């Protein structure tokens, strides 16, 4: 009556409760497993249900008998190493699940099993690859949960680096995906991982190449995103949620469920709205960006990939040039060929040209790009949107490389500041405002220099290629007093005494001013440029400034951008910050956008307020009078009047009209006779 030998789930339950009492039963099943394994090795491609059940049974209870089942993991690893690709799908999946169970119970080292699983990526089994991918990522995450296991990480990274060069493209792509996911989760966020992924940018397999490029460009595949909660899944629209709530009984439980769904929808929309910047940290961890950039550009010139892949390669090359301020002069004539209004994705190409510009690029190299954009985009024969895009691109390039602009070209472009198209007008004014700030000398030509010069323009130093402006003081510190708490005995002492002492002359010079002159000094209007410089040096070197003082200095620096030498003028444009260049900055065409449905309804409802109801008045003089058949028909079900409606709407065919016309003509002829 003993059914335990044939009932493995029951035996498994009993062994876990009392391993000592059921040791003989386990050994009996283990011998059964070994005999079935020997038979299976004669024909590894066959499927054996008995062996599959025994393998999963032994894997579950092996921790209870570590000595007796010591060789069990080695059996499975040898089978997968020798016959991994030739095994039956179900048997291979069972062996992998058994190894995962043993690894979770610390009966196997991580390095051996993970390397084996990486090799199994070569198998033509999508379900197996997906399971192994999830397990590898989670296992490495658990290993490094409390502290980084540097030795194991280094071993696995080296192995994965070799796997990315595997002849099997699927195995190479899966290994790359594992490294990308580990970097995204901040588990392997070191330079070794980034540079291993960087080598995949030169792969001959298109899928591997695109995956590596997307990693550096910040494009998420979407398929590797974990959906830990229902909020990550694309929810329904608000309209559909509210419509579904209208049907059925209105209870508190259903209302709470609706509120939770609406809150999740709002959170999902907020997450979608946040723009994802590209992976700056990864680009900064590249060991030799100049060498990588040159190799990538050489590959770009020879590649025969589709246009979308070429765009990604151009994008990455331009970002490397802009972030690391590299020299790749052949890149600009290459991009220059594509800068035509009819070119596909031309706004992205203009963006890449702006990304690749920086202050160390020789002005001669960027001058050709600017002239090409001006000749092809900023002409009166083009539409206003094309001209606006060209002016925005020129402005972004000149923001990063102001010396590339020539005086004649700038004079021609700023003439569009009074153009009839608003987009062109805004682009020209933005360019004019930029050079008023960075290089006012180029605007010394008749009309474009119109307007009062600001105080910042008066303090601006001439631009020199390769010149670095290093200051030994805090700009704008001249507006602060010399001491944090001035004493009464030193009220008449001038700030020049501090500056004279710093010059090393060893003498103090006290200069007395009237109260009116002191007020003028605080305004900054009666102090010369040299005196401001000395006072700023004195204040910056004499004490530690507080947060409130820094805010005061920052406010003063902003005021310098809008204040003239003898008063204030209206500011034309907000201050440019060194923010990330996006496609919206190039496509910033100022045009009145069409309303969506919600805004149209709001304007319609606002227009109806305060007036009588529109439309024909259908009210009867006597509300108790009987209704007509036409009114009664409105309240009837459609199926009751369907035959009448269809009869009215039937239209004659062209053939029927011909017959009717023929009959009428024949009838007319008969009447004439």
Among 201-215, 288-302, 339-353, 503-517, name the one with the lowest average pLDDT.
503-517
- pLDDT (tens digit, 9 = 90+) per residue, 354-408? 999 988 888 888 899 999 999 999 988 888 889 999 999 999 999 988 888 888 8
Which pLDDT belongs to residue 374? 92
CA-to-CA dists, residue 260 to 183, 263, 269, 462, angstroms: 33, 5, 14, 60
Among 29-33, 516-520, 527-531, name the one with the lowest average pLDDT.
516-520
Query: What residue spans define the domains of the chain?
Result: 8-224, 288-451, 477-485+494-568
Which pLDDT belongs to residue 317? 93
Which pLDDT belongs to residue 330? 92
Q: Binning pLDDT at 50, 70 and 90, where does residue 540 land?
A: confident
Nearest-5° Cα angle at 318, 314 to 322: 175
Which pLDDT belongs to residue 391? 92
DSSP three-state, residue 635: coil
Q: Binning pLDDT at 50, 70 and 90, where does residue 481 land?
A: confident
Average pLDDT over the chain, rounded to an integer: 79
Q: Which residues contact 477 (CB under 8 A, 6 or more apart)?
A: 535, 536, 539, 540, 545, 553
Q: Binning pLDDT at 50, 70 and 90, where does residue 460 land?
A: low
Q: Which residues contact 505 (CB under 8 A, 6 or more apart)?
A: none
Of 130, 143, 129, nearest in space to 188 by CA: 143
Which pLDDT belongs to residue 630? 81
DSSP state of 416: G
DSSP state of 482: S
- pLDDT (tens digit, 9 = 90+) per residue, 179-188? 999 898 888 8
Of 339, 334, 337, 361, nearest in space to 349 by CA: 339
Judge whether residue 478 has pLDDT over 80: no
Judge whether residue 497 has pLDDT over 60: no
- pLDDT (tens digit, 9 = 90+) per residue, 604-618? 888 888 777 766 666
CATH for 8-224, among 1.10.3470, 1.25.40, 3.90.700, 3.40.50?
1.25.40
**DSSP-assigned letters across all residues of 260-276:** HHHHHHHHHHHHHHSPP
Judge whether residue 83 has pLDDT over 60: yes
- Rounded to the nearest 5°, which phi and psi values hold at 589? -90, 120
Q: Spell out where 38-135 has E strands.
A: none
- pLDDT (tens digit, 9 = 90+) per residue, 548-592? 887 888 777 766 766 654 444 444 444 444 456 788 788 776 555
Q: Which helix (H) or strand (E) holds 559?
A: helix 547-562
**Over residues 446-450, mean pLDDT:** 48
Of 105, 53, 99, 94, nearest in space to 72 by CA: 99
CATH of domain 288-451: 1.25.10.10
Of 126, 219, 205, nearest in space to 163 by CA: 205
Q: How many CB atoms lie within 10 A of CB 137?
A: 20
Q: Binning pLDDT at 50, 70 and 90, where does residue 522 land?
A: very low
- Please tell me if the domain spanning 8-224 has the same topology as the one spanning 288-451: no
DSSP state of 568: E
Q: What share of the chain is helix, strand, coil (3-state, %, to 5)?
A: 65, 0, 35
- pLDDT (tens digit, 9 = 90+) per residue, 482-493? 665 444 434 444
């Amino acid at each position: 009556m003993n059914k335990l030998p044939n009932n493995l789930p029951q035996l498994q339950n009993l062994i876990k409760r009392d391993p000592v009492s059921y040791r003989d039963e386990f050994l009996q099943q283990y011998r059964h497993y070994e005999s079935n394994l020997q038979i299976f090795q004669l024909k590894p491609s066959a499927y054996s249900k008995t062996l599959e059940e025994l393998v999963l049974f032994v894997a579950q209870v092996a921790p209870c008998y570590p000595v007796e089942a010591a060789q069990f993991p080695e059996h499975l690893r040898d089978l997968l190493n020798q016959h991994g690709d030739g095994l039956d799908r179900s048997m291979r999946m069972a062996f992998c699940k058994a190894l995962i169970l043993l690894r979770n119970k610390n009966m196997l080292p991580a390095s051996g099993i993970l390397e084996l699983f990486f090799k199994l990526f070569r198998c033509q089994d999508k379900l197996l690859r997906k399971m192994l991918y999830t397990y590898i990522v989670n296992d490495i995450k658990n290993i490094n949960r409390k502290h980084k296991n540097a030795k194991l990480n280094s071993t696995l990274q080296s192995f994965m680096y070799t796997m990315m060069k595997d002849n099997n493209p699927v195995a190479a792509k899966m290994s790359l995906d594992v490294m990308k996911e580990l970097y995204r989760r901040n588990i392997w966020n070191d330079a070794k991982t980034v540079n291993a992924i960087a080598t995949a940018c030169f792969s001959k397999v298109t899928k591997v190449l695109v995956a590596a490029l997307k990693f550096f460009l910040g494009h998420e595949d979407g398929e590797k995103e974990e959906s830990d909660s229902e909020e990550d899944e694309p929810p329904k629209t608000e309209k559909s949620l509210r419509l579904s709530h209208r049907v059925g009984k209105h209870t508190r439980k259903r209302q709470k469920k609706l509120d939770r769904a609406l809150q999740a929808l709002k959170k999902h929309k907020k997450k979608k709205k946040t723009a994802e910047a590209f992976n700056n940290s990864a680009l900064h961890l590249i060991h030799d960006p100049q060498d990588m950039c040159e190799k990538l550009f050489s590959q770009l010139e020879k590649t025969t990939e589709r246009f979308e892949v070429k765009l990604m390669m151009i994008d990455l090359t331009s970002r490397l040039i802009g972030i690391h301020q590299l020299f790749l002069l052949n890149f600009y004539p290459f991009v220059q060929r594509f800068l035509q209004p009819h070119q596909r994705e031309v706004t992205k190409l203009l963006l890449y040209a702006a990304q690749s510009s920086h202050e160390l690029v020789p002005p001669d190299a960027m001058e050709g790009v600017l002239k090409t954009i001006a000749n092809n985009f900023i002409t009166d024969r083009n539409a206003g949107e094309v001209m606006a895009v060209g002016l925005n691109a020129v402005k972004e390039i000149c923001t990063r490389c102001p010396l590339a602009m020539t005086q004649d070209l700038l004079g021609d472009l700023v003439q569009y500041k009074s153009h009839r198209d608003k987009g062109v007008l805004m682009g020209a004014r933005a360019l004019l405002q930029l050079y008023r700030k960075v290089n006012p000398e180029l605007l010394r030509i008749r009309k474009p220099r119109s307007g009062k010069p600001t105080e910042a323009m008066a303090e601006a130093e001439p631009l020199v290629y390769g010149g670095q402006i290093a200051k030994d003081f805090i700009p704008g510190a001249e507006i602060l007093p010399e001491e944090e708490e001035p004493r009464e005995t030193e009220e008449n002492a001038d700030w020049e005494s501090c500056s004279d002492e710093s010059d090393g002359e060893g003498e103090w010079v006290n200069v007395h001013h009237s109260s009116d002159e002191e007020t003028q000094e605080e305004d900054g209007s009666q102090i010369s440029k040299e005196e401001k410089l000395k006072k700023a040096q004195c204040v910056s070197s004499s004490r530690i400034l507080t947060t409130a003082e820094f805010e005061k200095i920052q406010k003063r620096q902003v005021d310098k951008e809008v204040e003239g030498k003898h008063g204030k003028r209206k500011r034309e444009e907000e201050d440019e910050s060194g923010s990330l260049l996006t496609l919206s900055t190039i496509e910033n065409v100022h045009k009145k956008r069409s309303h969506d449905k919600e805004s149209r309804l709001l304007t319609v409802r606002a227009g109806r307020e305060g007036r009588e109801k529109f439309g024909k008045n259908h009210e009867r003089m006597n509300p108790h009078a009987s209704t007509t058949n036409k009114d009664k028909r409105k309240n009837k079900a459609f199926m009751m009047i369907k035959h009448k409606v269809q009869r009215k709407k039937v239209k004659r065919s062209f053939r029927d009209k011909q017959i009717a016309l023929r009959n009428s003509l024949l009838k007319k002829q008969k009447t004439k006779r």
